[in-house]
Amino acid sequence: MANRLIDETSPYLLQHAHNPVDWYGWGEEALQAAQRDNKPLLVSIGYSSCHWCHVMERESYEDDDIAALMNRLFVNVKIDREERPDLDGIFMNAVQMLSGQGGWPLNVFLTPDGKPFFGGTYFPPEDRQGMPSWSRVLRSVSEAYESRRDEVASAADQVVEKLNAMFASFTGPESSLDDAPEAAFNKIQQEFDQEFGGFGLAPKFPQPMILEFLLRRYSHTKDQNALQMVEKSLLAMARGGIYDHVGGGFHRYSTDSRWLVPHFEKMLYDNALLGRVYLHTYQVTKTPLYREVVEQTLDYILREMSSADGAFYSAQDADSEGVEGKFYVWSQDEIRSLLTEQDAAITERFFGVSSEGNFEGENILYISEDREVVATDFKITVEELSEKLSNIRTVLREARAERIAPETDDKILIAWNSMMVRTFAEASVVLDRSDYRQAAIQCASFMLTKMREDDRLKRTFRAGRSHLNAYLEDYALLADALLAVYEMTFSPEWLEEAQTIARVMIEYFLSVPDNLFYDTSYDHEKLIVRPRDVFDNAVPSGNAAAADVLLKMSDLTGDEELRTIASKNIQSVGELMLRSPQAAGQWLCALEFLLSTPKEIVVIGIQSNDETKALMHTIYDDYRPTTLVVGAEPDVLANVAHLPLFEGREMIDGQSTVYVCENYTCMMPVTSSNGLAEQLAGNNSEGTPFGFTNPFA
């Protein structure tokens, strides 16, 4: 018999719809039931690809006796953390205050008025390894609530008080932040793993926003140490088991310091952010492996993570048939049965396959030898080896497709889709992939048409229904995605949509007194606190993403107010960047933009013309993190004439023409790729007035 979760759209909540636990979704019905029956709320938070969430469900939530105990003692609420990052953030911080630890599944106990007083993460069905059983926890919490209610209420009030203090104003340093990038770089360098790349010890996460900051640092200073950290990390991940060498795409994190054994879930946001940093590093180095990783990753997204409408799904589970990683590992016998004798031998050598395996008797594929070495040993060229590896991947992927696959969480989230749109948009231009261009346009159009009502965004879409108020990160990242689509297409309607989204974001989320945004809009449902997370986690901080996109938009449109908001926003968290740079990668990228002298490149021409394509290739042949590229076809110039960047811009002698501007001064227009390359390299400093007064001088 189904419980109330049967009416939800979240795949994670629907996974629990047939538990014997009388689950509620979060909302007034659950809160009223708790107050009516004078019972505490038990709020359980997880997500569909969470391994230990599945374990606890099998062990406890599907157990009739444990479910009966939960139903008798508590009002039980299930939350998908990906749909409700506000609640997840509030209750995760509360549990960390109460227990000193956090993670998922997150189980937090609330008073009937919604205030947390106890919590933890995974609990086993019996006492085990120093952990109390779930049943014991349930009875102890219920007994404490019944017998020491005043103490419980006081403890809950203290938690709420601390949460309010945590989300209150942030104070930036009085001094300038000019030296903050250098100070942050030095701290990050101390955490770098010189042997295997990445940062810190196992479990090791990719941290793409830190890598992006380091790449920007290299672009700005030419510090080889910054590039070395990026390349060592990216090469190690691309060779390791954290990367899916058969199907493309990255798993969530590595359980070891060598990037060999992953936690096998795949998340849309990881692949969006990692795909982008590999793309940018390819622009810097021209290393073919980086391009290969980008294309394999984005092709995987198109093949396995795309809806019929062109939007992108959220995640793929780590487990299949109840076993973590089963879908992704191989035995030596299986490899030999699928491939020719030579191809099997190449696979065993190149991907480190052995009879004993490297993961519970099976093999996680990883690159164990350089291509040059393997090619020499097999007396073939590197090109021939690469072709063979491509064919081997195809055979293995087709064989793997016959297995029972992990579940795909097919809900569509604006923030995560927006990150993927920017990656597809940039990759389409850099790699000249028209299918990536189409993917970016389709997804952006989907979000604007299916996930917006009267200029207000909806967080999630599934089964034909969009719902839940969107959050700061949704608005900020969508505005950024729309700017990327505008840069890719030259179509001014995308810029107009980005400006609309940014205006709504400022109106509903900005706290004027302290120049920071809240994660929720001012008309969001009333919670025990109004959350505001300034730290980067697996995805960029909504505040940092907002600052970044407002700086870009200000530079593009000449709107001084946007730059002022972003500048004050960044200054407010200056102390965070100096104290904890690894939690501030997106902030540091925004700060680099703020402190730099951005270039604007204006292209006037017909996009489909070969001469325009050649000019665009020259522009995107290098990584230009503080360069905005805008363009217009001659027949739509009137639609962008109000933008200062387009003032007086036109095609010269009927040819596609580029204007390179720096520090609000433009060089002479150029119509050839060679002339453009010289200007971009700084070999031509003759400038003419930009045509409007610099509002930020």
pLDDT for 171: 61
Does residue 669 lie within any of the structural domains?
A: yes
Query: Is residue 175 included in any domain, yes or no?
Result: no
Whether residues 541 and 630 fall in one domain:
no
Q: Does residue 90 form part of some domain? A: yes
Query: pLDDT digits over 464-496, tens only?
Result: 999 999 999 999 999 999 999 999 999 999 999
For residue 174, tell me if it sits in a domain: no
Q: What is the pLDDT of residue 676?
A: 96
- The per-residue pLDDT for 512 is 86
Query: Looking at residue 515, what is its pLDDT?
Result: 84
Q: Are residues 293 and 342 in the same domain?
A: no
Residue 438 vs residue 170, higher pLDDT: 438
Write down the mean pLDDT value for the chain.
Answer: 95
Same domain, 95 and 13: yes
From 137-146, 401-410, 479-488, 675-684, the region with the lowest mean pLDDT: 675-684
Question: What CA–CA distance (Å, rounded) separates 637 from 647?
Answer: 10
Q: What is the CATH number of the domain that holds 142?
A: 3.40.30.10
Check residue 173 and give its pLDDT. 63
Q: Indicate the helix (H) or strand (E) that contains 221.
A: helix 208-221
User: CB pairs under 8 A, 24+ apart, for 130-139?
Assistant: 134/56, 134/59, 134/60, 134/66, 135/66, 135/69, 138/42, 138/66, 138/69, 138/70, 138/73, 138/74, 139/69, 139/73
Element (H, E) at 300: helix 288-304
3-state helix, strand, coil in the chain (%, to 5): 50, 15, 35
Domain enclosing residue 663, as ranges = 599-689
Q: Is residue 172 part of a domain?
A: no
Q: In this structure, what are the phi and psi dihedrals at residue 474, rounded to the nearest 5 degrees?
A: -65, -45
Residue 695 has pLDDT above 60, yes or no: no
**Is 173 a domain residue?**
no
Is the same domain home to 276 and 420? yes
Residue type, 257: S
**Chain length of the chain:** 697
Q: Which residues have CB under 8 Å from 625's CB, separation 6+?
A: 215, 216, 219, 280, 589, 592, 593
Dist CA 440 CA 447 (whole Å): 11
Number of domains the chain is built from: 4
Are 489 and 386 in a shared domain? no
H helix runs in 124-172, sequence order? 134-147, 149-166
Mean pLDDT of 438-454: 98
- The proportion of the chain whose per-residue pLDDT surpasses 90, expressed as a percent, equals 92
Write the pLDDT tens digit of every residue in 103-116.
999 999 999 999 99
Mark whether 497 and 558 lie in a shared domain.
Answer: yes
Is residue 694 predicted with pLDDT exceeding 90?
Answer: no
pLDDT at 277: 99
Has residue 689 got a pLDDT over 50? no
Question: Is the per-residue pLDDT at 651 higher than 90?
Answer: yes
- Residue 685's pLDDT is what? 40
Is the per-residue pLDDT at 660 higher than 50? Answer: yes
Are 568 and 442 found together in one domain?
yes
Question: If you average pLDDT over residues 618-640, what whole number do you get?
Answer: 94
> Of the ranges 417-426, 606-615, 656-665, which is most confident?
417-426
Q: What is the per-residue DSSP string for 565-601?
A: HHHHHHHHTHHHHHH-GGG-HHHHHHHHHHHS--EEE
Q: Which amino acid is at 266?
A: K
Give the span between the Cα atoms of 243 and 393, in whole angstroms.
Answer: 13
Closest CA to 329 of 296, 292, 356: 356
pLDDT value at residue 693:
32
359 & 425 share domain: no
Give me the pLDDT at residue 143, please.
98
Q: Is residue 265 domain-shared with residue 377, that is, in the same domain?
A: no
What CATH code is carried by the domain that includes residue 184?
A: 1.50.10.10
Question: Is residue 141 domain-shared with residue 10, that is, in the same domain?
Answer: yes
Q: Do 551 and 434 belong to one domain?
A: yes
Point out the domain boundary residue: 134, 166, 198. Answer: 166
Last residue of a domain, one of 577, 595, 613: 595
On whether residue 694 sits in a domain, the answer given is: no
Q: What is the pLDDT of residue 1?
A: 85
280-305 pLDDT tens trace: 999 999 999 999 999 999 999 999 99
- Residues 674, 664, 541, 304, CA torsion sign: negative
Predicted local confidence at residue 342, as pLDDT: 97
Q: Which pLDDT belongs to residue 686?
A: 39
Burial of 509 (0-12, 13-18, 19+ CB in 10 A): buried
Average pLDDT on 330-349 reads 98
- pTM, two decimals, is 0.95
**Is 171 inside any structural domain?**
no
Compare 436 and 641 and report the one with higher pLDDT. Answer: 436
**Domain final residue, candidates 137, 166, 195:** 166
Farthest-apart Cα atoms in the chain, separation: 87
pLDDT digits (tens, 9 = 90+) for 172-220: 665 689 999 999 999 999 999 999 999 999 999 999 999 999 999 999 9
Strands 41-46 and 75-80: parallel
Same domain assignment for residues 17 and 94:
yes
Report d(CA 269, CA 291) in Å as an integer.
Answer: 19
